[in-house]
Amino acid sequence: MAELLADEPVDATILDSDLVYEGRVWDVRSDTVAYGDGQIVRQYVDHPGAAAVVAVDDEGRVLLIQQYRHPIRHRDWEIPAGLLDVSGETPLETARRELAEEVDLVAASWEPLVSIFTTPGGNDEIVHLFLARGLTPATEVHAREDEEADIRLEWLPLADAVAGILAGRLRNGFLAVGLLAAAERLRQADPRGA
């Protein structure tokens, strides 16, 4: 039975939708929804979605980046990621672009890992995570500004990064889900190496 469990889309009738705040990256909406025998009002962040990359080199090391994130007042460890904010661009194309723009790398091999809702009680963001391998330097080096201007890069054995997640030292959600999914995918591909 557990193998058959899946999230279930619901086409609830939106009776009213108000733009509460229009932001540079995302908006805040307030929707009145017909649900059950009544109505509910919910405010949420209306988000364009994102793509994220677990980049693993030939030595089994994963690329982590560290950058300042103002809402949490931390320079947290993350994986390369970016918004689905280019019209017509697929999540895979966004992942390729972000790998090149954030860390000046291209990958020969791309594999979808998982797609996740980040905070379903507070926003509609979906993040598509990909495993990238066969890494080589990009032909172009990208200029970086704001939080990306002082990104720190670190190559870490995947098993050590997973241990950091489980120990509570690495708490970024994209990183945690992406690395755990990649570790399992790689274990399934080569159970002897796990």
Q: What is the number of other CB atoms lying within 10 angstroms of the CB of residue 131?
A: 21
Q: Which residues of 31-48 are buried (b: 16+ CB within 10 A; e: fewer)?
A: bebeeeeeeeeeebbbbe
**Torsion over CA: 104, 89, 55, 72 (sign):** positive
Structure tokens at 29: 């909406």
CB-CB neighbours of 138 under 10 Å = 14
Q: Are 29 and 17 in contact (CB under 8 A)?
A: yes
Q: Which of 8, 148, 154, 184 is catalytic?
A: 148
Q: Can 148 be counted among the known catalytic residues?
A: yes
Question: Which contacts qualify for 119-124: CB closer than 8 Å, 24 or more apart?
Answer: 122/44, 122/45, 123/26, 123/44, 123/45, 123/46, 123/47, 124/44, 124/45, 124/46, 124/47
Beta-bridge mates of residue 32: 16, 41
Catalytic residue numbers read: 148
